[in-house]
A and B are shown apart, each in its own frame.
Chain A
Amino acid sequence: MSPVADVFEIIRLSDQVWFLFATLAVVGGAGAAFSRNLVYSAFALLAALFGVAALFAWLSADYLAITQLIVYVGGILVLFLFAVMLTNRITEVEGSNPIVGYKPAAAVSLGVFGMLAYVAVSTDWKTLPVTSRFETTAPIGDMLLSTYLLPFEILSVVILGALVGAVVMARKEMKN
């Protein structure tokens, strides 16, 4: 048996799926970070958001995965694409996403990544024994209306104010 097939027999199927989703998220993130075309950047962000939603589902956070898809992919990403199309002339889409000062930025982000990865790998995390899947949607609803009622209400007012403010700022001024 070839070594490659051997490795695939040892890794559990769920872990193989995890690596697939993680690759999707990282490739999407890298595309969003390095693409010179803003439209490609936005679509790479779409791949990254799908990957993160799949990882939520992998962690049996089904409600969060669906929320991620509806709010991010259905809402925020469409908003980004609207903003791209409203602020760039179609002929200028090529090279519409120039970068500046990539050397210090690469140093900073590599430093941040090194520090976070070192902490993540070297710490002896006290993990729980693996639990079986359980329902999340109904308990989240209960928690939002009991333990986390105050932040939930504040957040409702915040997003209402934000959306009204966005409409006020984005509309064209009426000239008399």
Chain B
Amino acid sequence: MDQLAILQVGLKHFLFLAALLFALGTYTVLTRRNAVGVLIGVELVLNAANINLVAFSHYVTGGLAGHVFALFVIVIAAAEAAIALAIVLSIFQNFKTIDATKIDVMRN
């Protein structure tokens, strides 16, 4: 059964999954030209971090400190999304676009 140990879910599975979500989020942040798309990538990265916090809390430290920190991360994510989307709307009203590569009035 040794070759099937990989199918018994443990901490490493969670860390691997979180790494995958983090990489997908990084890719989204780096490639999107639409500012809302960039924010979707940020949410993926924050979720990957949350998975790690809760998995470590469950498998390594015990207790609930990881849960509380994940809760704080969720609240910060909510504040970030509200502020960032307000900025996006404000930019759209002023520039009529939210293409992040075209908002360059301060260049030169």
Contacts and interface: CB of A to CB of B under 8 A. Distances in A.
Given A97-B37, A144-B68, A110 B23 contact: yes
Interface in A42-96: 42, 45, 48-49, 52, 55-56, 59-61, 63-64, 67-68, 71-72, 75-76, 79-80, 82-84, 86-87, 96
Given A42-B40, A136-B64, A155 B76 contact: yes
Interface string A107-127: 011101100110111000111
B8 A143 contact: no
A59 B55 contact: yes
A108 B26 contact: yes
Name A's interface SS: helix
Contacts of B58: 59-61
Contacts, number: 242
Contact of A67 (B21, B34, B44, B74): B74
A120 B19 contact: yes
A1 interface: no
Interface in A126-144: 126-128, 131, 136, 139-140, 143-144
Name which of A14, A26, A30, A32 has the most chain B CB atoms within 10 A of its CB: A32
Given A38-B37, A83-B85, 20 more contacts: A15-B9, A26-B17, A32-B40, A48-B21, A52-B21, A67-B74, A68-B74, A75-B78, A75-B81, A87-B88, A104-B30, A109-B23, A116-B15, A116-B23, A117-B15, A136-B67, A143-B64, A162-B79, A170-B85, A170-B89
